[in-house]
Each structure stands twice: as C-alpha cells, then as structure tokens.
Amino acid sequence: MNQAGQAARRRRKLLIFGGIAAAVLVVFVLPAETGFDPLGVGAATGLDEIADPDNPELERGMARMERQDVLALSDTAPEPVAGVADTWEYELAPYDSVEFKYTLREGAPVTFRWEATGPLNYDMHAHPFEGGVELTESYGVGEAQAMQGTYTPAFTGEHGWYWDNRSTDNVTLRLTASGPLTTSTIYAGGTAAERPIAGATQTIEGTVEGHEMQGAAAE
C-alpha cells in the first residue's frame, strides 16, 4: 500500500475511534457524571441517578419541614436556652467520618452551633425511637464549615449530624448546644458509644433499632 493510502487509513481509524469515544461520552458518561442528558438516555436507563441519587431520607425531612418548624438556621450564634449546655470537640483525620447524636424529646427546642477548621460534608438528620432508621429524616445535606440555629425535634429519638472530612488535612470540629439535652451517642469507626452529658438530669428511654453509621462504607 502506498504512503497516501496508509495515511488515509490511519485518519479514518482515528475518526472512527474518536467518534465512538465522543458518542460514549455524550450518551453514557455525561448523564452519569454530571446529569447533563441531551439524548435522554440517562433518564431512560437510570444512569442520571448516579449523578443525583434519590435520597428518601432528605425527601422525608423536606416534607416534614414544609409542615412544621424543625430547623431554623441563624446568621449569629443563637442565645443559649434553659437546660444543659454541652460542648464537644472531635478531630477528623483525612477521609475520616463521625456521627454525633443527641437524644431529644419531641417538641423541646435546642440551640446549636458547630464550626470546623475546614469544610466538611454534613448530613443533619434524626431517627425516631418509634420506627427507627426506616423513618430517618434528613434536614440538610451539603458541605459547610459552620452551622448554627435552633432545632425543634419533630419526634423523640436521636438527632444530630454525620460529618465526613473529604480533604487531605485534619479538621477539628467543635459543637456547642444547649437545651433539654439528655445524653448523646458517638458513632465512629463502626461502633456506637454513649457519651453522658455533664449536668443532664432528664433521661429518655429508647433506642434506634438497626442504626448503623451513615456512610459507614466510606471507611
């Protein structure tokens, strides 16, 4: 074969493979990675769910917040309310995660503020004692370095946060809260540990059936 013929063949090969690559990108990769779905293949096959997974807990939490006041975030640190004041500090190694929960009674507001030395992925959520993890409600999922406000439990159970450090730096987290706190539980490294609160006199009996740390698979 002559030189020109070879060059033409090579160019055609390049065009074909380039075309296939571009098609795979538009039809499969973009819908799955970004949710951009010009041909609708992502929606038809469920690929777009990878980019934007359904989160039934968050949907339940959002529906709840339309019915009643649960979480009221504020710009300034909230005034402490009557009851017990509590402070908790925790250091998250790179790619480490922790979950912290207060056991709270329905309808009794607490104020809170947490601040970290770097941005953290968080999921603020609650599990009712009646119904357990099946009825978990999320009130906020995202990335932040601080969050503060007043929280009114929609039910009696465990209420708190899951934090995930996605950076390569150690991040120190500091949480303060006040109100009718009873006890708290820390879920870290796959185990749950109860953490009593100094000065707390009230107790609430109950446990969350089948609770596992959110994102435990991230370990």
Partner 1 sequence: MALAVPAFAHDVAEGDKAFVRTVDGPAIVPFMYLGAKHMVTGYDHIAFLIGVVFFLRRLREVALYVSMFTIGHSTTLLGGVLLGFGVNSYIIDAIIGLSVVYKGVENIGGFRRIGLEIDTRLAVLVFGLFHGLGLAAKLMELEMSPNGLLANLISFNVGVEIGQLLVLTFVVLLLGAWRERPSFRKYAFAANVALIIAGLLLTGVQIEGYFSS
Nearer to partner 1, 48 or 86 (CB): 48
218 binds partner 1 (CB under 8 A): yes
36 binds partner 1 (CB under 8 A): no
The site map against partner 1 for 155-184 (x = CB under 8 A) is -----------x-x----------------
CA distance 84 to 151: 15
Piece of 41-49, 97-105, 108-116, 180-188 that binds partner 1 (CB under 8 A): 41-49
Piece of 42-50, 126-134, 144-152, 202-210 that binds partner 1 (CB under 8 A): 42-50
Q: DSSP E strands: which ranges in the chain?
A: 71-73, 84-92, 97-104, 110-128, 137-151, 157-164, 171-179, 183-188, 191-196
Whether residue 98 contacts residue 188, with contact meaning beta carbons closer than 8 Å, is answered with yes
Nearer to partner 1, 85 or 218 (CB): 218
92 binds partner 1 (CB under 8 A): no
Q: CB neighbours of 179 closer than 8 A, spacing ≥ 6? A: 81, 82, 83, 84, 104, 108, 109, 110, 111
